[in-house]
Structure 1
Amino acid sequence: MSVKQKEKKPLHLAKMNIKKGDTVLIITGKDKGKEGTVSRALPQVNKVIVEGLNIAKKHVRPQGQTRQGGIIEKAMPLHVSNVMLKCTECNEPTRVGHERRPMGADQKLRPVRICKHCGKAIEDRMRSS
């Protein structure tokens, strides 16, 4: 009996509005109402891993001399539809829009994520640091 796995999208077709480093609010599930930072984005399967949230206990066996066995706590992926991005300007959970705005020294039009709540650009935490 085989378990049917969900097919992964090719990386060039996988698009998500949430990126690594974004602050998100969990809107469904056991951690509903909690906030956290996205530690990893998995666009091929439309999931994100949020630091310290959606924790599951995992039983692992020892692997020779390198890893000790036992029960570890691991942050498991959440579907993107179960989290909501928090705006960097108004600090409210919001839907995301896209706009092309002039940016950089050459003032070239580049795509920017827009907060639907306040209309300002959402700051990309990974680029600014």
Structure 2
Amino acid sequence: MLRKAKVKKKDKVLILAGKDKGKTGIVLDVDLKKERVLVEGINYVKKHVRPNPGAGIQGGIEEMEAPIHISNVMVICPECGKPTRVGRKELKDGKRVRICKKCNGMIDKA
């Protein structure tokens, strides 16, 4: 069963573990099945690419971003600017938004 992710695309996140610990970046993609996120500028890996003359691809070593586990990132609150846990709250009009546990500010723009 898929759990609801507390991290969404375009969130600013702090990396908690791994070789890029302490860095921040923007989430490019979230994969709920594998529980992984792709963060801009984080977790660069080198991939060997085989040349394919028919497709016009030149061979070599390519650097690309690899996904990291969702538990290794923490959302940075846009209001207080601190890394925080994410809570949920229902507004009076019935919309559900994510809130910062530190300052109770809204992470989602309602």
TM-score (norm 2): 0.91
TM-score (norm 1): 0.79
Aligned partner letter, 2:27? V
Aligned length: 109
Unaligned 5+ residue runs, structure 2?
Answer: none
Aligned partner letter, 2:30? A
Contact 2:39–2:67, Cα closer than 8 Å, also in 1: yes
Structure 1 runs, 4 residues or longer, greater than 6 Å off: none
Please name the residue that 1:115 is paired with.
Answer: 100
The CA deviation string for residues 12-46 of structure 1, in whole angstroms up to 9 with x for no partner, is x3420001100000011100000000011111111
Aligned partner letter, 2:28? S
> In the TM superposition, what are the counterparts of 1:4-43 in structure 2 within 5 Å?
13-43=2-32
Unaligned 5+ residue runs, structure 1?
Answer: 1-8, 103-107
Aligned partner letter, 1:47? R
Measured on the aligned residues, the alpha-carbon RMSD in Å equals 1.5
> In the TM superposition, what are the counterparts of 1:42-81 in structure 2 within 5 Å?
42-66=31-55, 67-81=57-71
How far, CA to CA, are the matches of 1:39 and 1:46 in structure 2?
14
> Which deviates further from its counterpart, 47-56 or 63-72?
63-72
